[in-house]
Structure 1
Amino acid sequence: MTGKLSSDQLQRIYKLLTEKRPRLDDRMRLTPAERALLECGGISRSDFDDLIIATEYRGFAAAGRYAEALAAYFRIPKVSLCRKPRRLDDDVLWLDGYAVADAVALLIFMERLGFAVSPGQLVQAIKGNLAGKPMLTESEYLILTYEVSRGCTTTVLRSDVERQPAFPTTKRHRDELGNRFTLVLQGEDVLSLEVAGPRYRDVNSALKTCAYCGTTYLPSSRNDREAHRQVHRETQRLLDPGPNKRFAARLKCGAGAERVVASVPMWMHQEVLKRAQRFRSDFAYDFVQWPGTMSTKATADWHGYLIPAGADGTIAGACAFLYETETKPSGSPWTLSWIWLAPKYRRGGLLRERWGRFLEAYGDFRIESPLSPEMEAFVRIHGTDWQKSCLSNHGE
């Protein structure tokens, strides 16, 4: 929402909305004006005003006059409309108006504020066209979620009055549908008007951070909760992995079963990628050091390894070596770019068991720095003389 309304506008809107509310009859069909809106693909501003005052006639039908200001406040875009000419060289008269979805969104906002309007039939006519769209405008999102959010929202209109360091006063009202109005005043000036729907409940809006997966989310938001569950499950698969049948079958093949190169299945490249991403996250690297994915195999200059915790195929971690054309002083062109083990498998001998094989396969390879304190301590014990000489605090 952008822009602000004047104090006088909010005062008059509050006065209108606190009058006795007109009763809206339940209907199952579109009105002629609503059908015209759908058929034309838009509606002029004057016709939209008429659509509103057909049901909202409080305040001597003043609601239509507020529509334009509310459209600007809620970022509803105006469009230029004209009647389709019979001949392409005919002149046309351009009118300010709204596209279909935007007009319906403005009706939804006005209903949330307590105006006696009924966008339900228009929503039913439009939402079927939105179900298959991968991207939605704000207006389309309001239409698609109308039924689940109706009566459950709170909407605030703010004025352009500058707030002063003083205690404001409030006026409250509840209408026949259960909408709750709160007008906040600073002397005679209106600061804001808040309208809570009849089914709106104030919820805990405090953010929560999961100690296990590190996700920060809003517990009251269903989308946030679902996103947290997904991240939590993915984190659990890395930190507390279970047996992997496919990897267990690979391990039965013997030598080379752990190595991930172009000839192995895609899923192995993906498993290395997940741990490369976790390594980047844990150690604040700028990019992921592994090019393989579920759909793209790593290039020939990368060799990855999945490190099993046992014969059941549980993946304890992974690492990756990069071939570089520039030969190191040690004589090997290979670099151990990273290695990541789930915390529960660290200091358990898994890396020590493989270190000799890595030296045999890749020579006196370089180890990408900086190293964690644990990795540095490992290299001091098991590394080659040259690898030890490369440590940042060698000789201390």
Structure 2
Amino acid sequence: MKTTISSDALTRVCNILTEARKPTAPRVELTRFELALLADGVATNSDIGDYLITSEFRAYSSIEYFFEELFAPLEIAQQFIFRRPVDPLDEVHGTQGLSAVDATAFLIGLQGLGLQVDPSRLVEKLSDALKDRHSLTGNELEIVLYGNYVNRRRVVLKARPTESGGAKRETTHEDEAGFRFAMQWEGDSVVKLEVLGSLYEVPKPQEHVKCDYCGHEYLTNNTAEARIHQDVHTRRQEMFDPEPEQRFASHLATDVGGERVDHKSPLWMHGAVLERAFEFKREFRYDFVQWPGSSVTRAGEEWVGWLFAADAKGTIAGACAFMNRDAAAAVPDWSLQWVWLAPKFRRSGFLDARWAEFLKLYGDFDIEHPLSEAMQAFVRKHGTEKQKAALPAAVHE
């Protein structure tokens, strides 16, 4: 975090931080301020100031006089608070303050600066109301993640440019709680403050890398990206090194449709074709997926897919899909849209073994272009004269 504040307010903050911490007894019960904040859902700036002087005593409780200048650098937005009118026509007057969530986030920010405040009781109460929420504001996220980051953050506050022209120097300080402070001065004014929490650790270096196996690019030492990479890696592993599938083995054993996937096939087969269609799109950088079926929706009658069995145990080596480009015509106009085989099964004769059957079922079908070099080589060897004639001229010669 790098934020800007006035040099006067920043100097006042440092005067507090460099004074010895005042011993305080741990509290279990909610304070009067906390009870009112939770009951009303809001607190006025005056309420917040009264609370702070009962918690941060250093520098003669001077925090009361400038805490509002810390709202902006801590990214806290004020709003007007009104008393509910007795009559809708009553004139109402608002005063500035914060919602319960924003006030708690503000206290979390002050604690991160090394000030003597304790938002933990408010965090506990508010977290209960947020536990089932999937979408959160920034300040709600501060509350939810409080336990993960308390005393572990690095905070930097910078003062706006001054014209003091004073001598520049740097000072450091470590308080009784283990917070470390580095201050840059210009004359008698602090122009930069760096705060390291008592549990702060220097982040591990990060770099962009690409997984040699699954091809996913991600940032190292990042929990979210590591989780995404693991998900991608696992899905690719299921495609690249497939395990036997009992339901496919059972389907093959009954010989009801075998490897064919049409509008009558089980939904899981449509989903299996879709997964390979995604791999084809990714590998050959197509703009869209060429298979409308999924594990919840069957492809229409104009589509037919095939799952290539690697063995009788139901291992799926790959898939392909045909589309009838003119379903209304008396004679179907079939086109092979794509073929994808797991790398370990390529050049193993899977497509060759089925080509004659495809020609019997779909006639002298077209093959959707562009074709990979491997597919062009296959067509030159096994394709019909019509299919060969459709190859790029340079390759056909």
What is the TM-score with the length of structure 2 in the denominator?
A: 0.90
Match of 2:234 in 1: 233
Tell me: CA distance 1:230–1:184, structure 2 relative to 1, closer, same or farther (3 Å).
Answer: farther
Match of 1:291 in 2: 292
Match of 2:271 in 1: 270
Equivalent positions of 1:170-181 (< 5 A) are 170-181=170-181
- The structural deviation recorded for 1:218 is 4.0
Whether contact under 8 Å (1:45, 1:97) holds in the other structure is: yes
Whether contact under 8 Å (1:244, 1:312) holds in the other structure is: yes
| Partner AA of 1:17 in structure 2 | L
**SS of structure 2 residue aligned to 1:93:** coil
Match of 1:71 in 2: 71
| CA distance in 2: counterparts of 1:214 and 1:53, whole angstroms | 56
Q: 1:172-229: CA deviations, max 9, x gaps?
A: 2211111122235689886642222111211313135222223334443333333322
- The structural deviation recorded for 1:39 is 0.7
Tell me: CA distance 1:324–1:44, structure 2 relative to 1, closer, same or farther (3 Å).
Answer: same
**Structure 1: segments with no counterpart, 5+ residues:** 163-167
Q: 1:342-382: CA deviations, max 9, x gaps?
A: 11111011111111122222222221211111111111111
- The structural deviation recorded for 1:170 is 4.3
Tell me: CA distance 1:39–1:342, structure 2 relative to 1, closer, same or farther (3 Å).
Answer: same
Match of 1:21 in 2: 21
Tell me: CA distance 1:139–1:336, structure 2 relative to 1, closer, same or farther (3 Å).
Answer: same
| CA distance in 1: counterparts of 2:170 and 2:277, whole angstroms | 56
Whether contact under 8 Å (2:249, 2:312) holds in the other structure is: yes
Match of 2:92 in 1: 92
| Partner AA of 1:223 in structure 2 | A
Match of 2:165 in 1: none
Whether contact under 8 Å (2:302, 2:327) holds in the other structure is: no
- The structural deviation recorded for 1:323 is 2.0
**Structure 2: segments with no counterpart, 5+ residues:** 163-167
| CA distance in 1: counterparts of 2:295 and 2:141, whole angstroms | 32
| CA distance in 2: counterparts of 1:9 and 1:356, whole angstroms | 82
Moved more, 364-373 or 199-208: 199-208
| CA distance in 2: counterparts of 1:339 and 1:72, whole angstroms | 57
Q: 1:221-241: CA deviations, max 9, x gaps?
A: 333333322222111111111
Match of 1:212 in 2: 213
Moved more, 67-76 or 126-135: 67-76
- The structural deviation recorded for 1:113 is 1.1
- The structural deviation recorded for 1:297 is 2.0
| Partner AA of 2:297 in structure 1 | T
Tell me: CA distance 1:56–1:258, structure 2 relative to 1, closer, same or farther (3 Å).
Answer: same
**SS of structure 2 residue aligned to 1:106:** helix
Tell me: CA distance 1:184–1:231, structure 2 relative to 1, closer, same or farther (3 Å).
Answer: farther
Match of 1:323 in 2: 324
Tell me: CA distance 1:129–1:350, structure 2 relative to 1, closer, same or farther (3 Å).
Answer: same
Q: 1:101-137: CA deviations, max 9, x gaps?
A: 1111111111111111100000111111111111111
Tell me: CA distance 1:74–1:295, structure 2 relative to 1, closer, same or farther (3 Å).
Answer: farther
- The structural deviation recorded for 1:268 is 1.6
Match of 2:246 in 1: 245
Check if 1:101 corresponds to 2:101: yes
Check if 1:313 corresponds to 2:304: no
Tell me: CA distance 1:2–1:179, structure 2 relative to 1, closer, same or farther (3 Å).
Answer: closer
The count of residues paired between Structure 1 and Structure 2 equals 389
Match of 1:165 in 2: none
What is the TM-score with the length of structure 1 in the denominator?
A: 0.90
**SS of structure 1 residue aligned to 2:80:** strand
Q: 1:64-120: CA deviations, max 9, x gaps?
A: 444433322233222221111222221211111111111111111111111111000
| CA distance in 1: counterparts of 2:304 and 2:190, whole angstroms | 67
| CA distance in 2: counterparts of 1:2 and 1:147, whole angstroms | 22
Alpha carbon RMSD of aligned pairs, Å? 2.5
- The structural deviation recorded for 1:271 is 1.6
- The structural deviation recorded for 1:156 is 2.4
| CA distance in 1: counterparts of 2:344 and 2:63, whole angstroms | 65
Match of 1:194 in 2: 194
Moved more, 294-303 or 271-280: 294-303
Tell me: CA distance 1:69–1:215, structure 2 relative to 1, closer, same or farther (3 Å).
Answer: farther
Match of 1:352 in 2: 352
Whether contact under 8 Å (2:303, 2:323) holds in the other structure is: yes
Tell me: CA distance 1:214–1:178, structure 2 relative to 1, closer, same or farther (3 Å).
Answer: farther
Tell me: CA distance 1:187–1:261, structure 2 relative to 1, closer, same or farther (3 Å).
Answer: farther
- The structural deviation recorded for 1:4 is 2.4
Identity %: 40
